[in-house]
Structure formats: structure tokens, C-alpha cells
Structure 1
């Protein structure tokens, strides 16, 4: 059963983010420009309207002296001090070429990556609050970006062109580009939706990438320490598009993954049992092939979710968090109320 947080929004909640300790708080963004900050128990702390455009992306800076929140709406970016959220520290207008879809802050709190509808990724200098280099590789909407942990110059992007790109900043071209269409496995006699990439995430060790796609699959990619693509695999996860995929860093190992889809299903995956992950954790000694290989696994051994929640509504966002000392997963959907699921059983 889930707990429902109410009183923060009056329209569909589109995105969520959680700040780090010691002052943990949750932020949610909704249609119509509404932004709400919540306490750990689900009480609204403050609500404000950023403008007429939907709030489509949120990211906290873990390195700031106090919790600083970055919120995208339309082509603009608002910077808020969560200790006094009534007034924005800054607002950067027209920071992206088209509507922003996703944000990511590097661990040093120095750079913000912004993905937009033009397919571009814009890098924002957070000390100067100015737009810097623009990265171009996607031929369609860039839907999601993520920095690799402990590698502040390594950035992953994914888009509706079915491409996942790994960037080694500040180089203007990706280190590699992987087409999810090449990894798609169509069941016999069944037409699948194209694997348009909706959300990309990186494990805390930085070597496993997961991407939720329109074909309902979770596309896994394993990279070496220097960022080379080594192996690919696809999990058949959802009966409709997989809109969200997020690693959970606070459980027993760094390979727990949460996914959510347009089918209303929320699933928890133990990827430590996945051959792609297990192979990557073996002691070194054998030389790796230069080209990425696709894992082969008998159908009867296909990995299944460790736990599922029938949420019932199309999932807009997943946000893993430790709330009131308990491992939890916050889910937003087409309603105005986020839901929180307990992960105590994992």
C-alpha cells in the first residue's frame, strides 16, 4: 500500500527530486508552473508558481552550502534557495533552444546539464550562472541526461532518436553513441514500439547505465572504467512504454533499479543477478573485446522484478528517497497527489 501526499498541487505532478542530508526535503513540479517543497512526512512546506509553463525538471545541488534547487519551466531555469523559497536566487531565461525535458547536476555542484526538445544538451556554469558549451548529437528530442558518479566530466544523454550518448567533457563530440534499436528483440509475430529513450540513469559505481524506452524495455549498458561500451542487454519490463528508470543507492548493493511505465506498473529489479552486471564484477585478468557484446540468456532464465506495485496510473516520475529513516519510492502520475511506497521488504 502507498501513502498519498495531498495539498501541494492542483494539477498533474510531472517531476520530483530529493535533496541530500542533513536537511532532506522533497520537491515536486506540476503542470501550470507549480512547484512545491515537502517535508519527509508529506507535509507541504511551501508552494509557488514559477510561470505559465509546466515544471518539467528538478535537480538539487548536493555541494551547495544550503540546499539549492534548480527548476526548469519552458525554456527557462529558476534557481531557488530552499531555506527561503519565496524568492528565486536567479532566473535564466531562454537558457535552452526549446522546451527543457531534464536536468542533472554534477557531484561537485559546478555544472548543470540541460536536455531540450531540439536534441541539444546545454551546460550551465553554476558559479557564474551562465550558459556555456552546447552538445549536439541527437537528431530528435533529448529527453534525459545524467552525470556518471565520481566522474564529473562524464555525462550520459538519451533521446527520442533512440540513441544513448556518452560524453567526455569538454569534448564537443560523444565518446560513443549506442542505438537502442540495435538491441531491440521483437517477440515472434509481434510488432514492438520503437525504443524511443525516455529516461537514462547511472548506477552509483558509474559502470552500469539503464534506459527506459517506449518499447517497454529497460536497456542496460555496461561501460569500462574509462567509459568504453562493453556490453548491452534488454529486460522486458513493461507492456507499454517505460517512462522512468532510477537506480537506488541506499539498499544492499548499488544494482537495485526502479522502473515505471505507461502501463501503471512500478517494478524493482535486483540487477546483481543480471549477467551483464555479474560479468562486469568479475576479477580482471581476461582481455575485453573492443566491441560491445549483447548478452545471451535462455528465455526461462530471464530476470524478473523482485517486487512490483500496481500503481494503476501512468507513471510520470520516480524518485527514490530515504524518508523518515525508511527506504521509499515516491511516484508521480496524472493526478495532483504524489504517492510513496515503502521498500522495507527489499
Structure 2
């Protein structure tokens, strides 16, 4: 993992979120209602919008089917070719939105917020489809399950992970991540760094949760209505702010970032195989009933600042990881993923 570019001159305050389109445009949202679009191929500022309502732009996402369509929290829908004004605005959330995301078919858009609710929006009909209520506190992250037509996973500051059937607004399973804490975790450590769920990401049947107590809990979807805990990744020294499955790779790599400024690429495939002699000593042991699993740290880098958001993209054949931190600058790294065509 090597640094590629720095995107500067667009934001005045911290960058809070990122998204990369399939045609090589990077969107960054920040404090004070700042929204910027950048060219990735030749790092430069394309558009700048300031003073959006609701103070902060906390999440952005692009359409894959229509790469010029951009959703920005609160929730504004833009055409990236003309950022003068939004083409539509959804006004269904009552409190600050923490994440917006499309489902695979892009007929639904989800927006989770500080009230703990998740609004499921009929994107084609431009109307509210369902309101999911299950979190007792802030819902920090919500992702659709690509392998389940009506599936969604969410996590919140109530320490709960919920699997939903969003067509019925029904909770299929709830797990408190504190149930998977290590046996030697002290009460004082829990009080200082409780396992609040800050980030959730899904890839195939696997999903990951980044927690405030510096660990990542791994789960696998099972059947139509359940999931099971498969392992605990330990590599960060402070809270895990982001977990991200890169868009362009196989399902056995996970990227995490934390308040410690560290970025880790995890080799999940090593859960099913023994480490060769001389491999990384950083590993994970499962605390659940599934047995002992191990995951190798494939790559690690000290970014140097508390990280707010990660996203990825493939531009002109180059696999990139984009990082937003507490500064006004966005950084890109080349991410060497072992997909059978090169080295990790």
C-alpha cells in the first residue's frame, strides 16, 4: 500500500465521508455543508458546493447504474454534471443522517440517522417505503445484503447488530456485540471504550462490524433469517471507525481504519488455511463457539490521523483506497490486492 495522491483545496474543515463513482469521480462531504467532486485520474477539483442545509455532509453515495447520480446526506440527489442545485430532495429523516446507501438493484435507498431509525426510500417512486425501528440509540451504519433480496444489516451505538427483512420492517435477529467480548476484558476497559458499532459492511454472505473498543467482529449470514459470529479481528489500538470491503476485489480482503490512524488490510482467506512459516504474527482468535480462526494482516500503514471514512475505486486499472480524516485533505493509496494477478 503506497500513497498516490492528495486532494486539496476543496474543503475548509474536516472531511467526513467519501464515495467513488464507476467513471472515476470522487465525492467528499465535510463539515459546514461542504460537498466536493474530484477527478481521480488527474487529481483536481471539479465542483464545490458549500452551505448545504443541516450543517454537515455526513455520507455520500453514487449510483452504479447511473454514475452521474449522487446522493448526499440530508438527503439531496445531485447530477454530478451540474451541481448548481439538487435535482431532488428526500425529507423523511427527522435527525442527522449517518449513512446513505443503495441496494444492488438501486430501486431502494437507505438512510440511517441519530434517532436510531432507518428510512427505506423507494428510489424510483421517490417516496418512503418503510421505516425500520429497532435501535435504542443512534444507528451509525446500515447496509443492504446483496445475497438477500430484502435483507439489510445495521449497527448502532446501542451495541446491537440487527438483520432485517426490510420489505416487512421486521427484525429477523438481534445480537449485542458485547456478547462476543474476550473473557479477559476488564470492566474499566469497557467503560472507557464500550463496543459501540461505528461501521458495518457486507460482502456476499460475510459482514464486518467496526467497534469502539478497537476490535472488529465478523459474522456470516445463514439461511434466510439468521447469522452467526465467526471471529474477532484485533489489530487497532483505538476505536475502529471504518470497515470496508473494496469494490474491485474478491471477498477475502477487508480494510479497516481507526482512531489510531492505522489502516489494515485483512486476509480473511487465511481463516481457512494455516499460515506459512514467517507469515505475520498478528492474528485473530474467535471467542465464539465456531472454533479458532486466524486472519493474517496482509498490509498495514500508519496514516497518522484519526480516520473518518474509507472508500475504494478502480480507475484506469489502478486499484485505489481513498481516506478521509480530521483534516480538509483526502488521501489516496494504491491497494495491491492478491486477485491472482499480482502480489499483495
- After TM superposition, the structure 1 = structure 2 runs for residues 193-208 of structure 1, keeping only pairs within 5 Å, are 193-203=193-203, 206-208=204-206
Does the aligned pair in 1 maintain the 2:54–2:96 contact within 8 Å? no
- Deviation per residue, 1:20-69 (Å, 9 max, x gap): 2xx231110000011111112321111112235100011112233x5211
> Aligned pair 1:19/2:21, yes or no?
yes
For 1:122, the equivalent position in structure 2 comes to 119
For 1:266, the equivalent position in structure 2 comes to 263
Structure 2: distance between partners of 1:82 and 1:235: 38
Structure 1: distance between partners of 2:170 and 2:6: 44
For 2:320, the equivalent position in structure 1 comes to 328
Structure 2: distance between partners of 1:186 and 1:8: 46
Structure 2: distance between partners of 1:52 and 1:225: 40
Structure 1: distance between partners of 2:185 and 2:69: 50
Q: 1:191 to 1:63 in 2, by over 3 A?
A: same
Does the aligned pair in 2 maintain the 1:233–1:294 contact within 8 Å? no
Task: Say which SS state the counterpart of residue 272 (structure 1) adopts.
Answer: helix
Figure out how many residues of one structure are paired with residues of the other and give that number. 318
Structure 1: distance between partners of 2:148 and 2:228: 18
> Aligned pair 1:342/2:334, yes or no?
yes
**Higher RCO (Cα < 8 Å, 6 or more apart):** 2
Q: 1:8 to 1:324 in 2, by over 3 A?
A: farther
Does the aligned pair in 1 maintain the 2:311–2:322 contact within 8 Å? yes
Does the aligned pair in 2 maintain the 1:34–1:55 contact within 8 Å? yes
Structure 2: distance between partners of 1:141 and 1:234: 23
Does the aligned pair in 2 maintain the 1:245–1:259 contact within 8 Å? yes
For 2:291, the equivalent position in structure 1 comes to 296
For 1:244, the equivalent position in structure 2 comes to 242
Does the aligned pair in 1 maintain the 2:180–2:288 contact within 8 Å? no
For 1:135, the equivalent position in structure 2 comes to 132
Q: 1:263 to 1:296 in 2, by over 3 A?
A: same
Task: Say which SS state the counterpart of residue 191 (structure 1) adopts.
Answer: helix
Q: 1:52 to 1:180 in 2, by over 3 A?
A: closer
For 2:278, the equivalent position in structure 1 comes to none
CA-CA distance at 1:295 after TM superposition: 3.2
Q: 1:202 to 1:131 in 2, by over 3 A?
A: same
For 1:100, the equivalent position in structure 2 comes to 97
Moved over 4 A (4+): none
Q: 1:294 to 1:322 in 2, by over 3 A?
A: farther
For 1:286, the equivalent position in structure 2 comes to none
> What are the ranges of 5 or more consecutive residues in structure 1 without an aligned counterpart?
279-291
Structure 2: distance between partners of 1:247 and 1:99: 25
Provide the alpha-carbon RMSD of the alignment: 2.0
> Aligned pair 1:159/2:151, yes or no?
no
Does the aligned pair in 2 maintain the 1:80–1:90 contact within 8 Å? yes
Structure 1: distance between partners of 2:291 and 2:207: 18
